[in-house]
Structure formats: C-alpha cells, structure tokens
Amino acid sequence: MDGDCMALVYEYMQEGTLQDKLREFIPFADNGKPLTWKQRLRIGHESAQGLEYLHKACSPPLIHRDVKTNNILLSANLEAKIADFGLSRAFNNASSHVSTAVVGTPGYLDPEYYQSYQLSEKSDVFSFGVVLLEIITGKPPIIAGPEGGHLAKWVNQKLSRGDIESIVDPRMHGQYDINSVWKVTELARKCTELSSAQRPTMSVTVAELKESLDLEISTEGTRGGRTTNMNPHPHNYSRNDNFISDVSQNSVFEMGYMDGMTAPGPAAR
C-alpha cells in the first residue's frame, strides 16, 4: 500500500500457468517438451493440496470459486500453486452452503451451483475435476466442433468404448502407467458428478491422487515403449453423462445444458 494506491504482488512463477503448459508449445520453457504423466500428476496433487488447505485449514474456510488451469501457477521446477482469490468466499463448516450470485469461468462452473445459487466446497471440487480432465486429455473444458461440447461429456462418450488411449493427450506418446491413468480418470468423473453429494471431498481427492502418483512412480522404470491398451475396469461406464455445453461469461453466467438433461430442483445438500 502506498497512500491511495495498492498493488498486488505475486511470487514470480517462472513456468507460467498450467493452461499454457498443457495447450501451448513454448520452445524456451522446459526445453519445449510437453508435460509427462508424472509431472501432470504432481501438479494435480499439489493443486489439490492447495484447495484442501482452503477448505480445511483456513479460518474461516474458503471456497475459491474460480478453480481453473489458468489459476494454477508453476514455478521453475513445476511446483504448482493455486492463485487468484478475487472471487473467494468464506463458508461455515456446519452448513457448508452460501447463497451467492453465480460467478466463475465457462466450462468450470458447477451446474448445481448455477441452478440453486447455493455455493459449497463441492463447487470447487467440480471445477477441479474439469482441471483433472484437462491434465489427462490436454484439451480445453469446452471442445469446439460438432462432436465437441463439455470436456466431461466428451470423455464419457469416449470411455463408453472402454478405450482410455482415445482420451489421453497423445503428446505423452503412451509413456504412462495405464492403471494410474484409469484411476485419475475415474476420480475426475466422480468430481464432475452433477450432484454435489456424489462428489468426493478435496481430502479424498488428495489421497487418490497421491496413490495414482505412487503407482506411476513404481512402474516408471520397468516399462518401455507404448503401454498396452487394456481396460482394467471391466464394469460398465453408465451414468448421467449430461453436462454443461457452453456458458457466456460476465460476472453472472447464463448456462446452456446438454439435450435431455432433467434439472433437479434447487436444493442445498
């Protein structure tokens, strides 16, 4: 603060945002190489820890309200930190819901929050689930084109065929443990459930990502070449696959839903 002037100073994060690293080829950053699966898992795990801290360790607890890859900053060694708390709101752990105007970013906005105006920490979980899908696929939250729409819906359609490699970012060239990828994909799908009651907490999400990272590390030195295209989860991937198709952004959003969606009545869970 300097008189009537105020400045917000951030720690310098040399590698920029996760969004840049996932979707842009930067010749002078990290030798221009795309992120490996292990690097992506570490970034996801550290980002999840940041959100868990907001939800559990802050006093009062905070809901970020704008979780997205552009708000995850990376240091020179790719350490991830959550940034931009301009939309954050405090919440009471006893009720865990706050009535508030709907704000956020297209593609990351919790559909239940949009319908009910009831904000909870599970709204951050939904947004983080979209971030995880971006980490896996390298694609943006809203995919353009006739076969596009919301990333979560696109992933579910692809997985209905049981082929994980059809959604994994091809820039990883098959260098990943297939079981680790399946585990994170299922976690992301749980995080993006339409009903907040069916989503995990950030604490559960942190634990699941740690297990996935440990699994990737344990197999890293034993595999060579491409992974075998196997589905270690033979159960049927059937669930409500209706997600956001598009939204327009101002301070309050209008949301379009996928055809066939039956909107639940506003309810604070």
Domains and CATH numbers, the chain: 18-228 (1.10.510.10)
- The closest of 195, 172, 176, 196 to 184, measured between CA atoms, is 176
Does 240 or 193 have the greater pLDDT score? 193
Task: Classify residue 56 by its DSSP letter.
Answer: I
C-alpha angle with apex 209: 206 to 214, nearest 5 degrees? 125
CA-CA-CA-CA torsion for 16, 21, 27, 32, nearest 10 degrees?
Answer: 120
The predicted pLDDT at position 228 comes to 43
Does 216 or 263 have the greater pLDDT score? 216
The predicted pLDDT at position 69 comes to 97
The predicted pLDDT at position 73 comes to 96
Whether the predicted pLDDT of 257 surpasses 50: no
The predicted pLDDT at position 267 comes to 30
**How far apart are alpha carbons 175 and 161 in whole angstroms?**
21
Whether the predicted pLDDT of 181 surpasses 90: yes
Whether the predicted pLDDT of 255 surpasses 50: no
Please answer whether residues 72 and 64 qualify as being in contact, where contact means their C-beta atoms are separated by less than 8 angstroms.
no
Beta strand extents in the chain (DSSP E only): 62-63, 72-74, 80-82, 89-90, 98-99, 118-119, 142-143, 149-150, 244-248, 254-257
Whether the predicted pLDDT of 269 surpasses 70: no
Among 161-165, 226-230, 245-249, where is mean pLDDT lowest? 245-249
Does 46 or 255 have the greater pLDDT score? 46
pLDDT band at 8 (very low <50, low <70, confident <90, very high): confident
Catalytic positions, written as ranges: 66
Whether the predicted pLDDT of 27 surpasses 60: no
As a whole number, mean pLDDT of residues 163-180 equals: 93
* Segment 106-116, tens digit of pLDDT: 899 999 998 98
* Segment 80-89, tens digit of pLDDT: 999 998 888 9
User: Strands 98-99, 118-119: parallel, antiparallel or unpaired by DSSP?
Assistant: antiparallel
Burial of 238 (C-beta count, 10 Å sphere; 0-12/13-18/19+): exposed
What is the percentage of the chain residues whose pLDDT exceeds 70?
A: 77
